Structure 1
Amino acid sequence: MRGLFWVLALFALAVAVALGARLNDGYVLLVFPPWRAEISLNLFLLALAALFVTLYVLLRGLALTFGLPQRVRQYRAGRQREQASLVFQDAVRLLFEGRFGQALKKATEAHAAGTAPGLSALIAARAAQRMREGQKQQGWMARAKIDDPRTEAATLMLEAEMMNEARRFDEALAALEKLQDKQGRHIAALRLELRARQGLGDWDGVLKLARQLAKRDALPGEVIGEIRTQAHLGNIARRTSDQGQLTSYLRTVPEEERGRRVVLAGVRALVAQGAEAEAQKLIEAVLDAADNGEWQPELVAIYGRLSGGAQTARIAKCEAWLRRHPDDARLLKALGRMCLRQRLWGKAQSYLEASLAVEPTPEAHLELARLCDQLERPEEANKHYRASALLDMH
């Protein structure tokens, strides 16, 4: 549409010029003594226009001719930049493809061409690290820190990641500390710090970071739960030699972080230290609050082996749990053990036989054998000893 408009405009202009020239009777007198020339005004204007066009073309041609070397240089520089950009892109692609030798070569070429020198050095460092060429890796990391200040944060992140992979966790934390001073902390940096603190066994730091990541919804809930569990297990293992520290720590564990494994490890550590009263309190607190999905038969088995304290009160507590879990073989076995310890022979036999009816186990047969020995019933005792041995063999 615009083309048609311009064509019509040119035709209109041509018509206007033709009409104007036809009606124009003016002339131009040129005097060059001793010569005189008289020409029409229309011819003069036409010649003037032709002269202007000729001069313009001549000057334009001269400018293009003398500017040709500069344009050639610019063209070559542009081609070099384009080729260097393609080399850099190839380095990135090859790194992600896992072709680290070629990625290192391309990154070296891109760095030499001056294309994103900081990023090129980082790519080369990562490729060298994947190829286990430590000296090249360190050299490229040093260049990355110098070549481009804009890549400082990226350099520190990559350094922390590579130090984690090399299990040099102290150096990873040092790099992350520098990053925090300059750029603050973000989720990716928190994840790297979490990995480093796990490697160092800094379980208190792990718990702190896990809670921060949970607030930011940075990791799936299952992963956060497993990280917390591992941290608590590590702290419990570290405190097994000090009963006071262990007891204090278990009391400070938030209720939502008291998973099955954490409670079980804590109870076992307390029992190993002889702190059966604390173990009893912890077991009762957990099992009293447990519903069917959170019931822990392992704790019941430990509860039944506790020797000190008021056995009668423990029997009553287990009988209360039995009303909620009547088919729990371990609970029935624990009751049988405690009744046997209190010389309640009839109740002990009843509970142990009920446990065997739910799930035959070597321990229940062995407890019944001991009961029969106490009651001087050797034939029945031998039968249960044999049954226990057969189950152990299977």
Structure 2
Amino acid sequence: MRALTWLIGLFAMAVGIVLAARYNEAYALFVWPPYRVQVSMNLLLLLLLVVFLLSYRVARIAVRAVELPGEVNVWRKQRRREQAQNALAEAERFYREGRYGQAFRSATHAYAGLPQPGLAALLAARAAHAMRDFERRDTWLAHAAAHDREIRLARLMTEAELAIADRRFEDAASSLEGLRARGHRHLAALRLSLQVEQGRGRWPEVARLARTLHKHGALTAEQTAPLLRRAQLEQLREAEGDLNALERVWQGVPDAERRDAGFLLRAVPHLIGAGDDKLGVAAIEDALKHDWEPELAALYGRCQSKDLRAQLATAEAWLKQHPEDASLLLALGRLCLRAQLWGKAQSYFEASLSQQASRAAHLELARLAERLERKEVAERHYREAAVLGA
């Protein structure tokens, strides 16, 4: 419908122009002595229109010719930018696929064509690191540092990750300190900090970070528990020999951990080594009240508290509830040895062997026989212990 309207309008305008020209008898006179030129006004208007249109067209061509080099340059820059963006995407894909050489080449190509090439430099550094080309890695990290205004956080995170991968924990800590100085404490940075502090052996900090990450849902309870356990055990190991330090570490262990048999089996020997058997005895007694663990019962016999009678009474009370526990019988035998109750010690060791043959029980009987100057019995038990230990 619109096309038909335009067509009718054009025809109407053409008819109007023809009618106006028909009744227009005006003319234009041009005098250039000695010449005189008389031209119809209609022709003059037509000539002027033609000249105007030609002039306009020539002017447009001239302007276009002048602007064309600039437009070509803009197009070329846009084209290079698009190619660089594609190269960056290819570099990321190659890196994820493990094709590090191609990833490095694509990233360097992208770096040359992007207006903000910092991310391409970081990707090139990662690819170089994956190829163990540390010189080029450091070069591209330096290139990335030149664009810190855009990618400082990403650069520091990358440097920390690469340093951790190389076990350069002090360098990683320096990069993470740069993040903390600017107030960046997000979960990814805390995860890296946890790895760094493990590598540096700063176990109190490991425990703090593990609890923080668990609190914010970044670590599950199953992931947090072994981290906390190792941190606590390492702190106990480091404090071994310093009774006061050992007691401070022990007081910081949660009650639930103190009742965990797996933790106690590794922690109590540190307490015994420091000469603090009282803590070890109390911990084992508390744990066995909640859940019986034969290995803990055996460890109880190695604790040398000052109140030996109380230890014996406690162990004998357990024996009423667990009369066939070989580990508890072994512990009772050791306690009787300390009390110089040779006959009871021998009976408990033999009862332990009757429940379960063990190298430890044979060795205890051999030592007891030597003390009682029964050489043949001692030799027999040593042979039995050797067979079980083979």
Give the 5 Å matches for 1:99-138.
Answer: 99-138=99-138
The one-character-per-residue Cα deviations of 1:331-387 (angstroms, maximum 9, x if unpaired) are 2322344356557688666654553343222333555677889999999x5797378
The one-character-per-residue Cα deviations of 1:160-207 (angstroms, maximum 9, x if unpaired) are 122222222222111111111124211111111111111111111111
Q: Is the aligned partner of 1:298 residue 2:290?
A: no
Q: Secondary structure at the match of 1:116?
A: coil
Q: Secondary structure at the match of 1:218?
A: coil
Detail structure 1 runs of 4+ shifted over 6 Å in the superposition: 19-25, 45-58, 343-347, 369-379
Seen in structure 2, the aligned counterparts of structure 1 residues 35 and 164 have a Cα distance that, compared at 3 Å, is same
Greater mean deviation of Cα atoms: 312-321 or 186-195: 312-321
Shift of 1:246: 1.1
Give the 5 Å matches for 1:1-394.
Answer: 8-15=1-8, 27-28=20-21, 29=24, 30-33=26-29, 63-258=63-258, 259-288=260-289, 290-291=290-291, 295-322=292-319, 324-339=321-336, 342=339, 351-352=348-349, 354-365=351-362, 385=381, 388-389=384-385, 391-392=387-388, 394=390
Aligned-partner residue type, residue 79 of structure 2: R
Q: Is the 8 A contact 1:84 1:115 kept in 2?
A: no
Seen in structure 2, the aligned counterparts of structure 1 residues 383 and 235 have a Cα distance that, compared at 3 Å, is closer
Q: Secondary structure at the match of 1:32?
A: strand
Q: Is the 8 A contact 2:145 2:155 kept in 1?
A: yes
The one-character-per-residue Cα deviations of 1:123-166 (angstroms, maximum 9, x if unpaired) are 22222323333332222222211134110111111111222222
Alpha-carbon distance in structure 1 between the residues aligned to 2:48 and 2:314 = 120
Q: Is the 8 A contact 2:125 2:136 kept in 1?
A: yes
| Structure 2 unaligned spans of 5+ | 30-36
Greater mean deviation of Cα atoms: 169-178 or 361-370: 361-370
How many residues are treated as equivalent by the alignment?
379
Aligned-partner residue type, residue 207 of structure 1: A
Q: Secondary structure at the match of 2:264?
A: helix
Cα RMSD (Å): 3.9
Aligned-partner residue type, residue 286 of structure 1: A
Aligned-partner residue type, residue 85 of structure 1: Q
Seen in structure 2, the aligned counterparts of structure 1 residues 103 and 367 have a Cα distance that, compared at 3 Å, is closer
Aligned-partner residue type, residue 32 of structure 1: A
Paired residue for 2:32? Answer: none
Q: Is the 8 A contact 1:229 1:261 kept in 2?
A: no
Alpha-carbon distance in structure 2 between the residues aligned to 1:390 and 1:72 = 90
Alpha-carbon distance in structure 1 between the residues aligned to 2:174 and 2:372 = 69
